[in-house]
Structure 1
Amino acid sequence: MSLLSKATALLLLTVVVVTTGCGRVVFTPKAQQAQALSLSPEQQQTLAAQMQQLQQRADALDRDNQELEAIIAQRGQQLQLQHNQALALQEQLKATTDRLAAVQSTNTQLEQRTQALTASVQQMPGAEIRANNTLLKSLQSTNVPGVTARQDGDTIRVALAGDMLFVPGSPQLQSGAEQTLRTVATDLMTNYPDHLIGIEGHTDPMTPASPQYSTPHHLSVAQSTAVYDLLVRSLGVSPQQLFVIGHGANHPVVSNATAAGQAQNRRIELVIYPETTRSR
C-alpha cells in the first residue's frame, strides 16, 4: 500500500461526521485513533485538498437542509392558511343558511297574515255583496298624472305609480305624494263610500335588498301599509273598510326586461271590491 493510500485510510478512520441540530456537518478527529504520521509536502497538499472537498460537500448539504427546512415551513403556512379559509367559508355558509331560513319564515308569516286578512274580510259582519256591473264610474282622479283605473272582473283597480309616491327602495312618501293620495282617496270615497278597498303593493324584482326590507315582499307590504296609515290618519277612512296586501314582484303588468317596464310594475293599486260594509 502506498503512503498516500495509508494517509487517506488513516484520515477516513480518524474523522467522524457529526450532524448538528441545524443540519451542519463537521469533522472531529478521534484522539484515541490519532497516530503520528510523517507526510511529505505533496502528500499534505493532497490531503488538504481532499479535506477541503469534503468540507465543501458538507457546506452544500447544509445549504440543502436549510432550503428544505424553509420549504417545509412555507408549506406549513400554506396549509394553515387553507385551513383558516375553509373555516371562514363554513361560517359564511352557516350564516347564509340562517338568513335564508329567516327570510322563508318571514315570507310564510306574511302569507299567513294575507290569508287571515282575506278570510276576515270575507267573513266581516255587515258585509253586503252587490253586483259590480256599474262600479267603473267616472273617476276624476284618473286625470291625475301617474294614476290609471281599469275594470278587473268584479273589481276596480286604481293604480298609482310607485315612483311618484315613494323614495326609491323605501316606504317613505315623496314630496307631493300625500296630496296625490288625498285626491284619489277623496274621489274613491265619493263614488264608493261603503265598498271594501284593498291596498295592494307591487315592486319589481330588481329592487335592491336593504337591512330593513330584505325581499320585494317586505318592501311592498311596507309601502301599502304607509298608504293605509295615511288614509286612516289624515283622511279619516274607516280601518274596517281597508285591508293591506303586499305582492312583491309576483304580479307584473308588463315585462321587467326594461327599466321602463320595471318602473311601470312598481305601483300601489287601490282595489274596490263589490262587497260593502254597513254598520248595523
Structure 2
Amino acid sequence: MTVSKRTTIIILALVALFFAFTLHHASWRADAPKGGPRLVADRGVAPVLGNDGCVSAANAGYGAVAVGPDLAALQLAAGAGAQAIRIPLESEGRRLVPARQFESRCAADLAQPRPDVAATAYSLSRPDLFWQAKGAAEARALLAALPPSEPRHMLIGDDAAVQAARAERPAMRAFTITAARKCAADYRASLLGSVPESCTNGVMLLTLDDLGFTLWGWPNRFLDRMAKAKTMVIIAQSVEGATIKGLTEPSQYGEIAKDFNGYIWVDKIEELGPALRR
C-alpha cells in the first residue's frame, strides 16, 4: 500500500509537533529545585501518658514547659518531623481555640485552660501553621491574635473566611480547597504549561493521581514555573469534598519526585516523619 505525499507530510508534521511539545515540557530544561519536601501533619500526636495517666513535660517532643494535652499533641507532631501542622479552630465562649487534639481523662490535664490562638502560635514557634477557619468572624479573630508579619501562618477556609483574611491581610496565604483544586485543573488544561490566573500567588493542591506526564513539565520544569508564579504546591493522597486526606504509607513517598520541594500532607506524622528521614 502506497502512502500519499499529503499523508506523509501530515504524519511528519504531527511527529514534529509531538517532539516540540515534549521538548517544551521536558523536566531537564529546568534545574532541580532547592530544598526538600515539607511535611504537613494533619493532626497532633497522642502523647504517651505518665504513670498517673496525665500528660507531663517529659512527653512533649517540642517546647520546654509543661503543657496541656492539646498543645502536647501539637508539639509532638513538630518533634516527629512536621515542618507544618494543620490546626482546625473552634470557639470556646469568646475565645478562639484549636480543636481538641487529644482527649485526656486526667483531672489535672482537664483543669488546665485550653490554649488560645496566640498561646498556640507562641508554643509552636518553628513549624508553619495551616489554620483552618470557618466564616469571616472566625478568620478576623484569628488574624487579630496572630503576629502581623509572619509568613509561616496560613489560612484554609471557606469563601467567607478567605475573603476576610485577604481583605485584612493581603500578604497572608489564604485559600479554599476548591480554589486550590481548580488551580490544578486549570494548569493541566493549559497544555502549553502557562500558569493560569487561578494559580498565580495562590495554592495548587495535587493528589498522587495527578502526578505524571500530564502535569506539564513535572517535576523540575513544573516546579520552576510554580516558583516563578509564587504558587505554593501541596501534594496529598486524595481530596474528598472539603477534606484533604494525607499520605498514610511511607511507600507513597516513592510516587513523588525526589526533588519535590513543596508541602506533602501526611496522616500519621509519627510514622511518616521519621520514615522520610531514613
TM-score by length of 2: 0.30
More helix by share: 1
